[in-house]
Structure 1
Amino acid sequence: MISINEVIETNAMISRMNLDVRTITMGISLLDCVGGTLKETCDNIYNKITMKAKDLVYTGEEISKKYGIPIVNKRISVTPIALVGGSVCKTSDDFVEIAKTLDRAADKVGVNFIGGYSALVSKSMTKADELLIRSIPKALAVTGKVCSSVNTGSTKTGINMDAVKLIGEIVLETAELTKDQDSIGCAKFVVFCNAPDDNPFMAGAFHGVTEADCIINVGVSGPGVVKAALEAVRGENFEVLCETIKKTAFKITRVGQLVAKEASARLGVPFGIIDLSLAPTPAVGDSVGEILEEIGLEFSGAPGTTAALAMLNDQVKKGGVMASSYVGGLSGAFIPVSEDQRMIDAVEAGALTIEKLEAMTCVCSVGLDMLAIPGDTKATTISGIIADEMALGMVNQKTTAVRIIPVIGKTVGDKAEFGGLLGYAPIMPVNQYSCDAFINRGGRIPAPIHSFKN
């Protein structure tokens, strides 16, 4: 039973501390949509998505009204499109037609984003994989709600450096095609190592082939709640600090569990997982950077930042797993630059660099996220940054990712404006030394020795 004190406490979290359910994401398998022609496949995709998700937005709004819990986004993830379109797409433009179909379906049901314009190439690429990857710039330029991802590495297979090299070029091309909007197309594209099959967060969500035909995954978020809880124990030792984070994460996850179960029952779709990530927004008081400062840092990036983030991430997970039997996705602390005002402030103050962010990604969820860099950065340099982050995921047996935005026409000292939840980002300096010879070698970096477990 939920006590009256829990109700009062939850109301305070929502009204004063920016607690929300960041997303209800419906995962839909499109494996049964493959037809004999491209048109038949597109028609099948459109019909299945609009049938399965027709009540998703309405259901989210009704649950929000019933419990008074803000549900910010309603989203869809689908089977990686490289698998779905492999037999009917003979050119990159054929894949773009599927992207347009996904966008139309997303518009029809009213969701914010649809993810799964994806390829899984951690070991090598099929012809379909390569065609989809080469289609990404155009697909993201001509659609509004489609999000894309490519998994280029894993602990079991190593890193596909051919794909990493190609993606550096694709990121630049995507930036160029959306340069009139500060290269925002790149904000809808993520490169992964060890990508999870059940991530509800964009831009990296896709519906894994091991999943059911249709599921509901929920992502909760509460940086402001954790910050407020830590203010109450300011100056206490690490034991008190950890217990406070753990208890707060438990409460946040319980809210997500409630919403997930209700959505599952109303939609008649199985409940998948709760992703208990701390996902910030540009709003004041909704920042992971503020949590790190409350722990005792002048700015994110100061000495001790990696240790503080490691502790925060671990305690969030410990608290969350006690609140739900099915925790999955990414689950931890996100550190996107543009979406977190105090991270932006740290960059502008010179406290936070790409190299320090890379160190922080060793101990938190995801990786280098929403970094804006000069638009004249070389493709091989972008590939080198991606390769470094993939290596961290591969060796440490964790999910890592890169969402990097070379803003065409802008350089260090400028700002890129993305709007909404994406906020704005200062252009960060990039190491100018060349990695061309390394990236151009081609082939695959082998999996680490500890991957050999049978």
Structure 2
Amino acid sequence: MLNIMEVHETNKMIEQEKLDVRTITMGISLLDCEGSTVDELCESIYKKITTYAKDLVSTGQAIEREFGIPIVNKRISVTPISLVGARVCKCPEDFVKIIHALDRAACDMGVNFLGGYSALVSKAMTPAERMLIESIPQALAETERVCASVNVGSTKTGIDMDAVRLMGEIVKKTAEATADRDSLGCAKLVVFCNAPDDNPFMAGAFHGVTEGDVVINVGVSGPGVVKKALEAARGESFEVLCETIKKTAFKITRIGQLVAQEASRRLGVPFGIIDLSLAPTPAVGDSVGEILEEIGLEQVGAPGTTAALALLNDQVKKGGIMASSYVGGLSGAFIPVSEDKNMIDAATAGVLTLEKLEAMTCVCSVGLDMIAVPGDTPATTIAGIIADEAAIGMINQKTTAVRLIPVIGKGVGEVAEFGGLLGWAPIMPVNPKGCETFVTRGGRIPAPVHSFKN
């Protein structure tokens, strides 16, 4: 338990440094949901979600009031729907019926988002998985709170380039289906390599098949707290810098552990993992980019950015992992452009480019996240970007992802507005050279030699 000094320190972090618990996410298995028709399956899914999650939001709000710790989001993740609907869904429109049931459950439970409209196709696609993927543009255009994800590769299997090519087309179609909202649908769609089973963060959350029937996962945040701590270490050596980040990450993660244990106890649901990722918001003082600049960069994207991010990510993990028995998910530093004020500024100034962001993803938690690009970007170029990021994940045995938003009707120099936690983003330029011949070859990029460790 926290002692009185830690309580005072925690209050300061909350009141002055924007510390929050980013999410409580309840993972729910839908593998036992049954129905001989799509409509019956939808009712079974709705009933199970609303039975398990009926007290999720009220419990989170009670913990907020009693402990004084802001919990920004209450969320649900479910078993990848391509598996759940495989037996009864005969066309993409059948899967759209399921996402409407999910959206209805999310709205009725009062959660911010529900994740799991997903397919895992790192080696090949079943007919059901292809149908779900093909349904994504319509599904995300017609719903409000459900997020989708597709895993197209892994270190063990290689990269399914047929799925990569298809996802380039799906991202573009999703942008077109939500063109009236600055292509917002793409902000609810992420393409993974090495997706973890226990990720509580949207849009990539789903309840993995290795998980139990129900679980509570918590994602913490706190870039403002780290930034404030580093102000006291200006001019100090890397040793002092690293120790400061580790100690701060430990304190942040302890808050998440406290919330997770309390939520688990009150809901009667097993505790899963703490994801100790530093996740920014568009607010001033709540930026990962600001931390990197505090470390010594004139602006994010300058030479030294990748090294500074590598240091930050590693020290966050080293400090956080000592504060919880079960650390999982993504865990590290997020770099979503639209959700981070300093990254928005750097991208607007042309200092932070798509190529530099790709280099940074080699050493951080996820990948190319919440990046707006011109609406006329070809689907094959989007597929090429997905392939590049998947290759980084596959070769480096880490999770990488792409959440790219081709904003229909807008070009470089304009701005896309997504609202709320998703923020806004400048439209960034994309390399104009094509890769169509590469991404349309068909088949699979083989797993790297270091995957054979059995």
TM class, shorter-chain normalised? over 0.9
1:106 matched to 2:106: yes
Deviations 1:231-288 (A, max 9, x none): 0111100000000000000000000000000000000000000000000000000000
1:335 matched to 2:335: yes
1:443 matched to 2:446: no
Structure 1 residue ranges (4+ consecutive) displaced by more than 3 angstroms after TM superposition:
none
Instruction: Give the letter aligned to residue 245 of structure 1.
Output: I
1:90 matched to 2:90: yes
1:373 matched to 2:373: yes
Aligned-residue offset at 1:162: 0.1
1:172 matched to 2:182: no
Instruction: Give the letter aligned to residue 229 of structure 1.
Output: A
Instruction: Give the letter aligned to residue 194 of structure 2.
Output: N
Alignment of 1:90-239 (within 5 A): 90-239=90-239
Distance 1:348 1:299 in 2: 12
Deviations 1:364-399 (A, max 9, x none): 001000000000000000000000000000000000
Deviations 1:140-174 (A, max 9, x none): 00000010000000000000000000000000100
Aligned-residue offset at 1:325: 1.0
Deviations 1:187-243 (A, max 9, x none): 000000000000000000000000010000000000000000000111100000000
Q: Look up the match of 1:402.
A: 402
- Secondary structure of 1:205's counterpart equals coil
Structure 2, unpaired ranges of 5+: none
- Secondary structure of 1:233's counterpart equals coil
Distance 2:408 2:51 in 1: 40
Q: Look up the match of 1:453.
A: 453
Q: Look up the match of 1:72.
A: 72
- Secondary structure of 1:32's counterpart equals coil
Instruction: Give the letter aligned to residue 333 of structure 1.
Output: A
Aligned-residue offset at 1:4: 1.6
Instruction: Give the letter aligned to residue 196 of structure 1.
Output: P
Distance 1:170 1:321 in 2: 37
User: 1:34·1:85 contact (CA, 8 Å) conserved in 2?
Assistant: no
What TM-score comes out, normalization by structure 1 length?
1.00
Bigger mean CA deviation after superposition, 27-36 or 67-76: 27-36
Distance 1:6 1:213 in 2: 35
Q: Look up the match of 1:305.
A: 305
Identical counterparts, % of pairs: 78
Instruction: Give the letter aligned to residue 251 of structure 2.
Output: K
Aligned-residue offset at 1:40: 1.1
Question: RMSD of aligned C-alpha atoms?
Answer: 0.5
Deviations 1:285-313 (A, max 9, x none): 00000000000001111000000000000
Distance 1:59 1:266 in 2: 7
Q: Look up the match of 2:42.
A: 42
Aligned-residue offset at 1:3: 2.1
- Secondary structure of 2:351's counterpart equals coil
Q: Look up the match of 2:4.
A: 4
What TM-score comes out, normalization by structure 2 length?
1.00
Aligned-residue offset at 1:39: 1.1
Distance 1:291 1:380 in 2: 35
Q: Look up the match of 2:349.
A: 349
Instruction: Give the letter aligned to residue 79 of structure 1.
Output: T
Alignment of 1:274-285 (within 5 A): 274-285=274-285
Q: Look up the match of 1:263.
A: 263
Aligned-residue offset at 1:34: 2.8
Q: Look up the match of 1:291.
A: 291
Distance 2:53 2:282 in 1: 29
Instruction: Give the letter aligned to residue 279 of structure 1.
Output: A
Q: Number of aligned residue pairs: give it.
A: 454
User: 1:156·1:452 contact (CA, 8 Å) conserved in 2?
Assistant: yes
Instruction: Give the letter aligned to residue 309 of structure 2.
Output: L
Structure 1, unpaired ranges of 5+: none
Distance 2:53 2:106 in 1: 9
Aligned-residue offset at 1:36: 1.4
Distance 2:110 2:173 in 1: 29
Distance 2:4 2:104 in 1: 44
Distance 1:174 1:266 in 2: 39
Aligned-residue offset at 1:18: 0.4
1:52 matched to 2:52: yes
Distance 1:115 1:306 in 2: 30
User: 1:184·1:418 contact (CA, 8 Å) conserved in 2?
Assistant: yes
Aligned-residue offset at 1:35: 1.7
- Secondary structure of 1:252's counterpart equals helix
Aligned-residue offset at 1:413: 0.5
Aligned-residue offset at 1:5: 1.2
Instruction: Give the letter aligned to residue 89 of structure 1.
Output: C
Q: Look up the match of 2:26.
A: 26
Distance 2:35 2:155 in 1: 34
User: 1:96·1:139 contact (CA, 8 Å) conserved in 2?
Assistant: yes
Distance 2:118 2:292 in 1: 33
Distance 2:160 2:8 in 1: 51
Distance 2:3 2:126 in 1: 55
- Secondary structure of 2:152's counterpart equals strand
